[in-house]
A = this chain, B = another copy of it.
Amino acid sequence: MQAEIIAVGTEILLGQITNTNSTYIARGLAELGIDSYYQTVVGDNPQRLSAVIEIAAQRNDLVILTGGLGPTKDDLTKQTLARYLNVALVEDRAAMQKITAWFAANDKVMTANNRLQALYPAGAQPLANHNGMAVGAFYQSENSADFLLLPGPPRELAAMFDSEAKPKLAAAYGEQARIYSRVMRFYGISESELATRLQSLIDKQQAVTIAPYAKTNEVTLRLSAQAETEAAAKAMIDKVDHQIKATIGAFFYGYGDDNSLVATVINQMIAAKLSITAAESLTAGLFQSTIGSVSGVSAIFPGGFVTYANEAKHQLVNVPQAIIDTEGVVSEATAKAMASGAKQQLNTAVGISFTGVAGPGTLEGQPAGTVWIGLAYRDQPAKAKQYHFAGSRQQIRMRSVMAGLDLLRHALDADTDLKK
Q: Which residues of A contact B (CB under 8 A)?
A: 10-20, 22-30, 36-43, 45, 48, 51-52, 55, 59, 70-74, 102, 105-106, 108, 111, 113-114, 153, 191-193, 195-196, 199, 202, 211-214, 222, 278, 280, 282-289, 291-293, 295, 297-298, 301-309, 311-313, 315-316, 346, 358-360, 388, 390, 393-394, 397
Contacts and interface: CB of A to CB of B under 8 A. Distances in A.
A13 B214 CA distance: 16
A73 B199 contact: yes
A346 to B, nearest CB: 7
A171 B153 CA distance: 38
Given A15-B27, A37-B48, A71-B195, 16 more contacts: A11-B213, A12-B39, A17-B23, A18-B18, A40-B41, A71-B192, A106-B390, A111-B192, A284-B291, A284-B292, A285-B304, A289-B397, A292-B306, A303-B308, A303-B316, A305-B316
A305 B306 contact: yes
The 10 closest A-B pairs by CB, nearest first: A284-B292, A285-B285, A15-B27, A15-B26, A303-B312, A285-B288, A39-B41, A302-B309, A285-B289, A286-B289
Contacts of A316: 303, 305
A289 B284 contact: yes
A29 B14 CA distance: 8
17 contacts: A11-B213, A13-B36, A13-B39, A14-B27, A14-B36, A15-B26, A15-B28, A38-B40, A55-B55, A111-B193, A282-B292, A284-B291, A285-B286, A285-B304, A292-B397, A302-B309, A303-B313
A327 to B, nearest CB: 19
A277 to B, nearest CB: 8
A86 to B, nearest CB: 24
Nearest to A195: B72
